[in-house]
Amino acid sequence: MNRDQFIRHATRGLWGTRKRDAALELRGAIEDKIYRHQLCGLSAADAERAALRDLGGGQGELKSMRTHPDHLRRGVAAALLRHIIGQARQRGMTRLSLETGSGEAFEPALELYRRRGFESCGAFSDYVGSDFNQFMALRL
């Protein structure tokens, strides 16, 4: 699925300005991630896959996702998460883990992850738990 097909798929069911705004935010998020990763020497194709890190042994890590404050609560993060979970399944992963922050500011993201089936878990990979982070995983 190319970038435009993904954006059309992710914004299905939305209409008017809500659809336009979500599509613009998705396109911006993808282009921003590509730009940031190209600064590190990755190709555009590799940068598009950078939100999903292969940890080996059937395990993957969901990397940083952020939605611009002007586009919160419009389904953008849910669409990106759905896409990344689908990509993890296509790549044969059986578990998808993530590290996120703690506190009130992270509650909307935590609720999104819980709605998609993520559950709390211990630290994974080379992460170390602290009072400021937490870990979640989804069995695929």
More confident residue, 21 or 36: 21
Which is nearest to 26 in space by CA: 45, 12, 46?
A: 12
SS (H, E, C) 41-52: CCCHHHHHCCCE
Which is nearest to 52 in space by CA: 100, 89, 9, 2?
A: 89
Q: What is the span of the domain harbouring residue 119? A: 3-139
Query: DSSP code of 85?
Result: H
Compute the average pLDDT of residues 53-81: 80
Question: Residue 16 — φ and ψ, nearest 5°?
Answer: 60, -140
How confident is the prediction for the chain on average, in pLDDT? Answer: 80
Query: DSSP code of 115?
Result: H
**Residue 38 reports pLDDT greater than 70:** no
Residue 94: band (very low, low, confident or very high) from pLDDT cuts 50, 70, 90: very high
Domain count, the chain: 1
Reading the block at residue 136, the tokens are: 């979640």
Residue 91: band (very low, low, confident or very high) from pLDDT cuts 50, 70, 90: confident
Reading the block at residue 103, the tokens are: 């506190």
Question: CATH code at 57?
Answer: 3.40.630.30
